[in-house]
C-alpha cells in the first residue's frame, strides 16, 4: 500500500499570512436541536502555532502538497494553547491563557478577531488553561488546567450557553497531564501520558462522564517511546501517538490494553519531536505535527509497521514555529 499523504505549508502560521481563504458558514444551532453533520465550507481546520502565538485556518480537510492559502488571525490574546471546533453550531472554543474564548461564525473569521463570549473558570489557584475537548453530543467541555504543583480537568455543562465567570460542574484530578490527554467519549475513558518521562506509560482513567475528585488509574500501558501527544479514534478503538525523531505509535484495542501490548510503529521523514496529533475518525485521516513540519495521512486505520513509513517529504516552516493543535469540525 502506498500512503496517500498531503502536506501543510506551515509558513502560513508565521507572522505573515500567505493569502486569503473562502467565506461560507452557517447559522448556529441551539443545544436542543438535533445534531447534524458540520458544514465544510469556509474555515475548516484551525491550526495553532505556539512558537509564534498564532492561529491560522485553511478551507479544506484534504490539503494538497505545495503552498497552501490560509488565514492568519490576530487578537489581543497573549496565548492560544488549544482549540475545539463545533462545526454544527459554527463556534470555535480556544484555550486563551486563563479563559476560554468562544468565536461565533467561526467559518467566516478573518483578520483581527474578537470573541463573542468568554468562559472564565471559577477554579481556585489555576494559572492557565492548556487543553480543551468538546463533547458536542452532550454540549460539554473538558478543560485541562494547570495549577502550582498540580492540575486537573474541569468539566462544564451546557457549553454553548456559558458566558462570564462560571464554576465547573465537577473537577477530577490525579496522575493526569493537563495538556496531554485524549478522551474516548464512546467508552468514557481518558488516556494521558507525561511527555517528559521515559520509559513512557499511558495511564487510563474510567467514568469520565461522571467522575469527580481524585481519579485512580484504571490501567497502565507501556510504550516504546516518549508519548509527546496522543489522539483516540473511539469508533475503531485505536490510539495514535507521536514521539521523538518523527516517530508514530499506534495501539489497537486501546480500551482493554494493559502491560506492554504489541503496537504499530513507523517513522516520518523528520528529525523533530511530535507536537500535535489529531485523528479525523469520520474520514479515517490522521493529522500530525512535528514542531515546524506537518503530515496528513489518509487511510489511517490501515497503517501498519511495514506500510506506515512515510512516502512524503514535509514542508518546513520558519524558525520558532511549533504546531500545537489541529482543530477539526465536529
Q: Name the CA dihedral angle for 187, 133, 137, 279, rounded to a multiple of 10 degrees.
A: -70
Query: Above 70 in pLDDT, residue 172?
Result: yes
Q: Please give the pLDDT value at position 31.
A: 33
Q: Please give the pLDDT value at position 318.
A: 65
What average pLDDT is seen over the chain?
84
pLDDT in tens, 221-237: 999 999 999 999 999 99
**In the block, which residue shows the cell 513540519?**
293
Q: Please give the pLDDT value at position 140.
A: 98
Q: 75-78 long-range CB contacts below 8 Å, 24 or more apart?
A: 75/112, 75/113, 75/114, 77/101, 78/53
326 beta partners? 47
Task: Collapse the DSSP code of 252 into the 3-class scheme (helix H, G, I; strand E, B; otherwise coil) and give the result.
Answer: strand
Per domain, the residue ranges of the chain are 5-327
pLDDT in tens, 85-136: 999 999 999 999 999 999 999 999 999 999 999 999 999 999 999 999 999 9
> Taken in order 234, 3, 179, 280, is the CA torsion positive or negative?
negative
pLDDT (mean) for 252-271 = 95
The grid coordinates listed for 298 are 489518509
User: If you classify domain 5-327 with CATH, what class do you get?
Assistant: mainly beta
Residue 244, classified by CB atoms within 10 Å of its CB into exposed (0-12), middle (13-18) or buried (19+), is middle
Query: Above 60 in pLDDT, residue 296?
Result: yes
Amino acid at each position: 500500500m502506498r500512503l496517500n499523504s498531503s502536506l501543510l505549508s506551515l509558513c502560513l502560521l508565521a507572522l505573515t499570512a500567505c493569502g486569503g481563504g473562502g467565506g461560507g458558514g452557517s447559522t448556529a444551532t441551539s443545544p436542543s436541536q438535533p445534531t447534524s453533520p458540520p458544514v465544510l465550507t469556509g474555515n475548516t481546520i484551525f491550526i495553532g502555532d505556539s512558537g509564534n502565538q498564532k492561529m491560522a485556518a485553511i478551507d479544506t480537510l484534504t490539503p494538497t502538497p505545495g503552498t497552501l492559502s490560509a488565514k492568519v488571525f490576530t487578537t489581543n490574546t497573549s496565548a492560544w494553547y488549544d482549540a475545539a471546533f463545533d462545526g454544527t453550531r459554527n463556534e470555535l472554543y480556544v484555550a486563551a491563557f486563563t479563559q476560554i474564548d468562544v468565536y461565533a461564525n467561526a467559518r467566516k473569521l478573518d483578520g483581527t478577531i474578537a470573541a463573542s463570549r468568554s468562559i472564565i473558570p471559577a477554579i481556585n489557584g489555576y494559572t492557565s488553561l492548556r487543553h480543551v475537548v468538546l463533547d458536542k453530543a452532550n454540549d460539554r467541555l473538558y478543560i485541562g488546567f494547570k495549577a502550582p504543583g498540580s492540575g486537573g480537568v474541569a468539566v462544564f455543562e451546557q457549553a454553548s450557553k456559558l458566558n462570564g465567570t462560571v464554576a465547573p460542574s465537577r473537577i477530577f484530578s490525579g496522575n493526569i497531564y493537563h495538556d496531554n490527554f485524549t478522551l474516548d467519549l464512546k467508552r468514557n475513558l481518558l488516556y494521558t501520558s507525561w511527555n517528559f518521562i521515559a520509559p513512557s506509560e499511558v495511564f487510563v482513567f474510567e467514568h469520565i462522564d461522571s467522575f469527580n475528585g481524585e481519579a485512580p488509574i484504571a490501567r497502565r500501558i507501556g510504550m516504546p517511546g516518549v508519548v509527546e501527544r496522543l489522539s483516540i479514534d473511539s469508533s475503531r478503538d485505536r490510539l495514535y501517538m507521536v514521539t521523538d525523531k518523527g516517530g508514530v505509535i499506534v495501539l489497537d484495542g486501546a480500551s482493554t490494553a494493559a502491560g506492554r501490548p504489541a503496537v504499530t510503529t513507523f517513522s516520518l521523514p523528520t528529525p523533530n519531536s511530535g507536537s500535535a496529533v489529531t485523528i479525523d475518525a469520520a474520514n479515517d485521516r490522521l493529522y500530525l505535527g512535528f514542531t515546524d513540519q506537518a503530515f496528513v495521512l489518509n487511510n489511517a486505520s490501515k497503517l501498519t509497521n511495514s506500510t506506515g513509513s512515510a512516502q512524503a517529504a514535509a514542508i518546513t516552516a520558519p524558525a520558532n514555529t511549533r504546531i500545537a493543535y489541529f482543530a477539526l469540525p465536529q
